[in-house]
Amino acid sequence: MLRFLVPDELAGLRLDRFVQVRMPRLTRTRAQKIVKASAFRADGERRRPSDIVRGGEVVILVRERFIEPITPLHFGVVYEDDALLIVDKPAGLPMHPTATYHKHTLSYLLKQRYAPEAGFAPRIAHRLDRETSGAVVCAKTIEAERALKQGFEAHRVEKSYVAIVRGEMAHDSGEIALPMAPVKEGLHVLMEVRPDGLTAWTRYEVQARAHGHSLVALFPRSGRQHQLRVHLAAIGHPIVGDKLYGPEREAPFLEYIETGMTNALHARLGHDRQALHALTLSFTHPVTAEPFFVRAPLAGDLTELWSQILGACRA
């Protein structure tokens, strides 16, 4: 059961709009469905999406017990010592709990594997999107966590990624320096290139081209949300499989939420997840103070995808 007190500044909104404001990842359509299925008054009377909320009242949402979506429930270990744990995160595994995921998250799996014995679960020091695979740095002590997070915030950690993008990129290498900010309209999770945004900088090097696609290495200097995906889309080369920043923008994302991955949607996207992998990390070890480098092998599904593209080229 969720209870939302209506502040005076939101009084007068439709109930579905109020729910969307309080749960900003929702689309208007999804908010309406939630209200129809879950919204009640204090006396148990059901509510309608068109109801007008009043300041000071409590909106009650009663949600049925949910089953978490299926995700990979494993992770690889690339490196481990007394202070560090470098995880090879599979695509599809969320980093942290959300309204949809709880036990099916990397943070929960870390607790299950390490906390029963050590009493301290490794702490994740940075972020990867759920669909992005590859290297994730975790700290096994409070001191290491503090040092690692400071390194990421100060941009002292060098990262590289590999992506498969649409189109054969014209230049072998280049830089993308386009400021970014959250969108003013549309899905709240989206970012966009905007002159008044925060500085964002990405260097790229094309590794190969084939059959209308490019295999590209990416070196972000800044760490904005969705930076690589937004930058590549902005120069006309969105990542294959990207449901938010591909040629159809967010339409595939909304369709995926409602219907799952259908054959038709897969054919339009080109892959069942964004073809992006966190390949390497380079930073100062938090204990030894020595340079540290780690590499997570390219995920198998992306190796297979590139092989299929090469096969189509030869055919």
Residue 129 designated active-site? yes
The dihedral built from the CA positions of residue 213, 219, 221 and 224, taken in this order, carries a sign that is: positive
Q: Which residues are paired to 59 by β-bridges?
A: 4
Determine how β-strand 123-124 pairs with β-strand 191-193: unpaired
Choose, from 129, 172, 242, 301, the residue flagged as catalytic: 129
Of 144, 95, 115, 99, nearest to 2 by C-alpha is 99
List of long-range contacts for 66-73, beta carbons under 8 Å, 24+ apart = 66/100, 68/100, 68/101, 68/102, 68/103, 68/104, 69/100, 69/101, 69/104, 70/104, 71/101, 71/104, 71/105, 73/104, 73/109
Residue 212: other Cβ atoms inside 10 A: 11
Residue with tokens 């939420």: 257
Determine the length of the chain: 315
Question: Which token pair is 308?
Answer: 């299929």
- Which active-site residues does the annotation give? 129
